[in-house]
């Protein structure tokens, strides 16, 4: 019997689960939409229903007796307040929700270091401060923490990645004193462990509910973004991952933390390495404003990739850029427009590839290692013409991602926990 570890990804639209072997190959996967259980995607009961359904579907495809560990990733910055039994006391605040009290972000700004990821009205700390006076509150947890608690019965633990936006100091590995000065009731914050640490065994009732071995361990997970990076198989310093979705996001594995608030850059800790990156306002959403997907596919088939258009585009859907240029007024640059649609598309693909190259260059200027390789995920990664253009711009090795599913990244952490527990 081949031992298996399970990773669960809880996203904005659904839950996904992956069963992974010790060699990182995937034995099975499943996916369940949140709206199958109701319209309110903020409801923790709907989260748990979707996770349970995804897990049951996954387990129907594998030998349940082979499962050794489970880990969960969730949306970064999503927070909820719970009572002594782990029950939510109010509707959670999601990753992109702003706190209603404008005084809270101002208070954090007064106390927090400039580079802290806890700044801003959508931060985990802002939400924690807004929740801490609810009647009956005994703990404040992130989304992944609460789901892990459903498995372990422990509602007192988080991981270093989810805790970052709540003010956790990943360098010193502690909750810093300035959080107290900002008015936080520190007893409400969870203990923080490294991703991949064993939290504890499955509760007996949960093990029986899913038909899992009672010695199966629950392992500390991470954020969805970190899980997506881990899923690709990028493990070496200088490994980069580019996400070509609606926006352009790049991340690189670094031997030191990189902090640049001006560019919206902070670093998540992954053991003794760091994950740094930035997000541009350019990307697939700009292409979609000009061409339908079917037209992009049609035009791409005729594009010659061994020549340059000579057009210096900076494709943006509207004025303003975050990274690699921090300028809220930066205008889009999409002229002159060739009469040929194929040439126009090619120039935009070149422009986004140039932004990607500048992004990795900017990270290096800020202290990150030189880019050694790139793995690509997102819808744009399937376009071979864009890939060829990007290869010419970046001039590094392009490697296939092991997986593009965040749940596979959580499964890798579950494997780490199983090894630590001596179950592999």
User: What integer pLDDT is reported at residue 295 of this predicted model?
Assistant: 96
CATH class of 4-226+406-420: alpha beta
Are 127 and 93 in contact by the 8 Å Cβ rule? The answer is yes
Q: Distance between CA 106 and CA 120 in Å, rounded?
A: 8
**pLDDT tens digits, 2-58:** 999 999 999 989 999 999 999 999 999 999 999 999 999 999 999 999 999 999 999
User: What integer pLDDT is reported at residue 141 of this predicted model?
Assistant: 98
Does the structure show a pLDDT above 90 at 232? Answer: yes
Q: Distance between CA 96 and CA 76 in Å, rounded?
A: 9
**pLDDT tens digits, 267-301:** 999 999 999 999 999 999 999 999 999 999 999 99
**pLDDT tens digits, 114-166:** 989 999 999 999 999 999 999 999 999 999 999 999 999 999 999 999 999 99
Q: Distance between CA 174 and CA 167 in Å, rounded?
A: 9
With H, G, I as helix, E, B as strand and everything else as coil, classify residue 81: strand
Question: What value does the mean pLDDT take over residues 394-412?
Answer: 97
With H, G, I as helix, E, B as strand and everything else as coil, classify residue 87: coil
Is residue 349 left, alpha or beta, with left meaning phi > 0 and alpha meaning psi from -120 to 50?
alpha
**pLDDT tens digits, 258-268:** 999 889 899 99
Q: How long a stretch of residues is the chain?
A: 424
Residues 6+ away with beta carbon under 8 Å from 182: 107, 108, 110, 111, 112, 125, 129, 167
With H, G, I as helix, E, B as strand and everything else as coil, classify residue 139: strand
**If you average pLDDT over every residue of the chain, what do you get?**
96
Given 3.30.870.10, 3.20.10.10, 3.30.420.40, 3.40.30.10, which CATH number is that of 234-399? 3.30.420.40
Does the structure show a pLDDT above 90 at 1? Answer: no
Does the structure show a pLDDT above 90 at 340? Answer: yes
Q: In which band, very low, low, confident or very high, does the pLDDT at 227 lie, cut at 50, 70 and 90?
A: very high
* CATH 3.30.420.40 domain range(s) in the chain: 4-226+406-420, 234-399
* One-character DSSP codes across 301-367: TT--SSS------B--SSS-B-SSS-BTTPPPB--SPPSSHHHHHHHHHHHHHHHHHHHHHHHHHTT
């Amino acid at each position: 019997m081949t031992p298996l570890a399970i990773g669960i990804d809880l996203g904005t639209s659904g839950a996904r689960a992956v069963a992974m072997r010790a060699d990182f190959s995937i034995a099975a996967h499943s996916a369940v939409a949140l709206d199958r259980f109701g319209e309110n995607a903020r409801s923790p009961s709907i989260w748990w229903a979707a996770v349970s359904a995804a897990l049951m579907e996954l387990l129907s495809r594998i030998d349940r007796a082979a499962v050794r560990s489970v880990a969960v990733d969730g949306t970064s910055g999503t927070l909820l307040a719970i009572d002594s039994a782990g029950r939510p006391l109010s509707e959670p605040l999601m990753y992109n929700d702003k706190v209603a009290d404008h005084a809270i972000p101002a208070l954090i700004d007064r106390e927090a270091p400039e580079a802290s990821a806890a700044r801003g009205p959508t931060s985990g700390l802002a939400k924690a401060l807004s929740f801490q006076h609810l009647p009956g509150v005994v703990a404040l947890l992130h989304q992944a923490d609460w789901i892990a608690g459903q498995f372990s019965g422990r509602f007192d633990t988080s991981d270093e990645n989810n805790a970052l936006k709540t003010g956790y100091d990943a360098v010193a590995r502690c909750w810093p004193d300035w959080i107290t000065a900002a008015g936080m009731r520190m007893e409400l914050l969870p203990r923080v462990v490294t991703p991949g640490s064993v939290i504890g065994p499955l509760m007996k009732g949960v093990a029986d509910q899913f038909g899992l071995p009672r010695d199966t361990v629950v392992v500390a997970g991470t954020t969805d973004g970190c899980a997506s990076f881990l899923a690709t198989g990028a493990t070496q310093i200088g490994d980069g991952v580019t996400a070509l979705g609606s926006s352009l996001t790049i991340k690189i594995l670094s031997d030191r933390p990189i902090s640049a608030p001006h560019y919206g850059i902070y670093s998540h800790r992954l053991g003794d390495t760091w994950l740094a990156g930035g997000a541009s306002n350019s990307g697939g959403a700009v292409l979609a404003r000009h061409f339908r997907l079917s037209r992009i596919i049609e035009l791409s088939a005729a594009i010659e990739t061994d020549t340059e258009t000579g057009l210096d585009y900076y494709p943006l859907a509207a004025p303003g850029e975050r990274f690699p240029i921090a300028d809220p007024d930066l205008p889009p640059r999409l002229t002159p427009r060739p009469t040929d649609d194929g040439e126009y598309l090619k120039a935009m693909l070149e422009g986004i590839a140039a932004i990607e190259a500048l992004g990795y260059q900017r990270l290096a200027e800020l202290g990150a290692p030189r880019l050694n390789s790139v793995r690509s995920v997102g819808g744009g990664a399937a376009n071979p013409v864009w890939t060829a253009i990007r290869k010419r711009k970046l001039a590094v090795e392009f490697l296939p991602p092991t997986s593009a599913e965040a749940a596979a990244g959580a499964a890798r952490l579950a494997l780490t926990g199983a090894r630590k527990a001596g179950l592999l």
